[in-house]
Chain A
Amino acid sequence: MIRLLRPFALLILVALCALPLSARAELHLDITRGKIEPLPIAIPAFAGGAPSANDITQVLSADLERSGLFKPIDPQAFVDKDPASHIPPNYNDWRVINAQALVTGSATPMPDGRLDVEFRLWDVFAQQQLTGLRYTTTASNWRRIAHIIADAIYKRLTGEDGYFDTRIVYIAESGPLDHRIKRLAIMDQDGANNRYLTDGKALVLTPRFSPSTQEITYLSYARGTPRVYLFNIDTGQQEVLGDFPGMTFAPRFSPDGNRVIMSLSLHGASQIYTLDLRTRRAVQLTSTDAIDTSPCFSPDGQHIVFNSDRGGSQQLYVMNSDGSNIHRISFGSGRYGTPVWSPRGDLIAFTKIDNGQFYIGVMHPDGSGERLLTSGFLVEGPSWAPNGRVLIYFRQTAADARGRGSSSRLYTIDLTGYNEREVVTPTDASDPAWSPLLP
């Protein structure tokens, strides 16, 4: 028996010897660097024949370009000027112009007057479709559809939620500086569809969106003393919030939209209150001789950041949502104000005044990692885009000796500190607030 197996044993031995050779380690590469450049993307005009087809393409292209993360390729360079939207493209035509992504689509008018819009996003190098969606809407809604498509493309290529289908509420300013007219105004995030919500008879300040995007809370001098108001965008109705003895200001919604947090000024000190919009019950959260103001909830509703001069100079503090565990988080030089918690929860944006210069900056909720993004004669009032990646704020330039030449404009900046862009408004503007994504 053993003798019979002997030749096989030799064979097994040989096989065992050969094993390590065949199981040699496979070559492995570790790529730890790359380029940080806007992604070249081709967006040929949508087919389908709807009058708005070209406009949709342009709005979509402008959205992506403004984000700073994409570089739409000039249509003049396209080899295939009119690609079909429903079949895979000839990838070589797009590879030669170095397009890494391609968007094809169509906007077709339907017999009932509505608009049928579809798009597909192609990966040119990997030669595959990344996403494709279709929408049916009223024809006048083409601009929103373009923003929604831009959001879908942004999300698929970056992993992050988009912020293009959003609106911005702000204070439109006009008239001479000593007789300024301030109106509540609202527009799309790209500056389109601008309209005024108040007539300018009363001074208005610090508008903020509710999470439902249908309501705005703001400060108005409509009855002589500054009070916090609630404005319904759909109905145009305004109402005073709460029946407080002193003046109320710096309002902001809680993340669930059921409460408004604000400051109440009485006898020279300011305390922070929340007001439940359902029960109209007010709760006092802080109690000092100092000025506590600009409160803002964390996105989970567990904490509140605010600024206070209780320590001598104006600094940022964080407390629990019931007012306990107050601790200071800003320790840099200068004064800090208007803190706003990022919708992502990881950062707090603020205005900083140091050596006569204004800054917009961000820090972690524990006060670490302070980073200043931009500066100027007056930059103030940051507000987050709903994806927590972009900030909007206003920038005011200095007036000359005769009080002229000053301007106040809205700007956005990427969280990285790059890609600062003006959001064009018809008049001077201040106090911008970004809405959540529209429902």
Chain B
Amino acid sequence: MTVAQLDTMPERRGLIFSAVLHLLVVLAVVLGLPSVFQTHIDEEQPFVVEVVNIGPKTLATMKTFTPPKPKAPPKVVQAEQPKPTPPQPQQAKSAPPPPPMPKPADVQVPEKQQPPKPEVAPQPPQPPQPLPPQKRQDLAFDTLLKNLASKPLPQDQTAQQPAKPQPSSQPIAPLGAQLSVSELDLVKQQIEQCWNVPAGARGAQNLTPEFRVSMNPDGTVRTATLLNPERLNDPFFQAAADSARRALFNPTCQPLKLPPQKYDQWQTFTITFDPKDLS
């Protein structure tokens, strides 16, 4: 009997142990891995990433030793998007191209989708975007105006300087067939320095002449055709279109700094002149 008791006691104890351990395992599963039992599905958070080619001569790499300030990414752009995590410039530094790789689990990379560019690299700071176009234009022009009440005037002076090459953290990538962002930036900056903004344009709205430009292989402009000539009877628009045409043919901007080996990419292109970012 004693023997039997001795025999059965360990059996029962083992059973209890087993039950307790099972319970612990079940509890651990329930509490520790909540997602297994929860039917709640995370709200889908689309996160767009632009796939860009990085040219061998990224403007940005010239200044990589000065890490971009954390404030550099255009905050306002994010306001428009569902919930993108702001790209951390420091992260981007070590990350492969497309730099913003915040939470891999959340990132969906839609192929072929070309979102509004912003996150890629520290671009020149954009003005607040969510404003209506009219307001935006007003704001842009306001920055040109002197106001004794709101001081530091010297800023106005610096504001008129042509944009300097922005530091970037892009690593050098193999040459792509498309024009890279840095190549486009270079030619944009070149044209910006040749554009005398129509001086009388203050207050006139939507002066955005658009041209189709056909190029010679040596990078000089062959022809520039105005694509919205129907507005030429507006003297303000006419003056704006003329000033844009002068920018395209300005000898100090000839030839345009475009990579000769990609001539088929830029032998014709369209270009819009919009003084919205004048600041």
Contacts and interface: CB of A to CB of B under 8 A. Distances in A.
A361 B145 CA distance: 12
B200 A27 contact: no
B196 A28 contact: no
Contacts of A32: 192, 274-278
A374 B195 CA distance: 29
14 contacts: A27-B270, A31-B188, A31-B191, A33-B275, A34-B196, A100-B246, A123-B245, A126-B242, A126-B245, A157-B199, A158-B200, A159-B237, A160-B235, A344-B203
Contact of B203 (A36, A346, A361): A346
Interface stretch (A2-10, A259-267, A364-372, A422-430): A364-372
Contact of A159 (B195, B197, B239, B269): B239
Interface in A358-397: 359, 361, 369-375, 389
Contacts of A31: 188, 191-192, 195, 244, 247, 271-274
A369 B162 contact: no
A33 B277 contact: yes
B246 A125 contact: yes
Interface in B110-139: none
Contact of B147 (A37, A100, A158, A417): A417
B200 A389 contact: yes
Interface of A: 26-39, 69, 95, 98, 100, 123, 125-127, 130, 154-160, 344, 346, 359, 361, 369-375, 389, 415-418
B142 interface: yes
B131 to A, nearest CB: 15
Interface in B222-279: 234-240, 242, 244-247, 249-252, 265-266, 268-278
**Residue of B145, B247, B277 ringed by the most chain A CB atoms within 10 A:** B145
B237 A371 contact: no
Contacts of B240: 159
B272 A125 contact: no
A69 B197 contact: no
Interface in B135-175: 142, 144-149, 160, 162-163
Contacts of B269: 26-29
Contacts of B195: 31, 33-35
Contacts of B265: 27
Given A95-B251, A372-B148, A34 B278 contact: yes
With a 10 A CB-CB cut-off, give which of A30, A98, A373, A415 has the most chain B CB atoms.
A30
Given A31-B274, A369-B142, A375 B251 contact: no
A95 B84 CA distance: 50
A156 B278 contact: no
* Chain A interface helix/strand/loop/mixed: loop
Nearest to A69: B199
A48 B36 CA distance: 95
Contacts of B234: 159
B242 A157 contact: yes
Contact of B148 (A127, A154, A374): A374
A344 B204 CA distance: 11
B179 interface: yes
Given A26-B270, A29-B271, A126-B246, 8 more contacts: A29-B188, A31-B273, A33-B275, A33-B277, A35-B160, A69-B199, A125-B246, A417-B145
Interface residues of B, number: 57
Contacts of A38: 199
Given A125-B251, A126-B246, A35 B235 contact: no
Contacts of B252: 98
A76 to B, nearest CB: 21
A351 to B, nearest CB: 13
Contact of A371 (B147, B187, B201, B245): B147
A125 B147 contact: no
A37 B192 CA distance: 13
A375 B148 contact: yes
Nearest to B236: A159
A77 B192 CA distance: 26
A35 B148 contact: no
B245 A372 contact: no
A155 B272 CA distance: 23
B184 interface: yes
B268 to A, nearest CB: 7
B142 A416 contact: no
A31 B213 CA distance: 14
B193 A35 contact: yes
Given A126-B246, A158-B200, A417-B146, A28 B277 contact: no
Interface in B33-49: none
Contacts of B235: 155-156, 159-160
Contact of B272 (A30, A100, A359, A415): A30
Nearest to A40: B196
A247 B110 CA distance: 78
A285 B160 CA distance: 47
Interface in B188-224: 188, 191-204
Nearest to B212: A26
Contacts of B270: 26-29
Contacts of A155: 235
A39 B242 CA distance: 12
A125 B245 contact: yes
A391 B204 CA distance: 19
Nearest to A92: B251
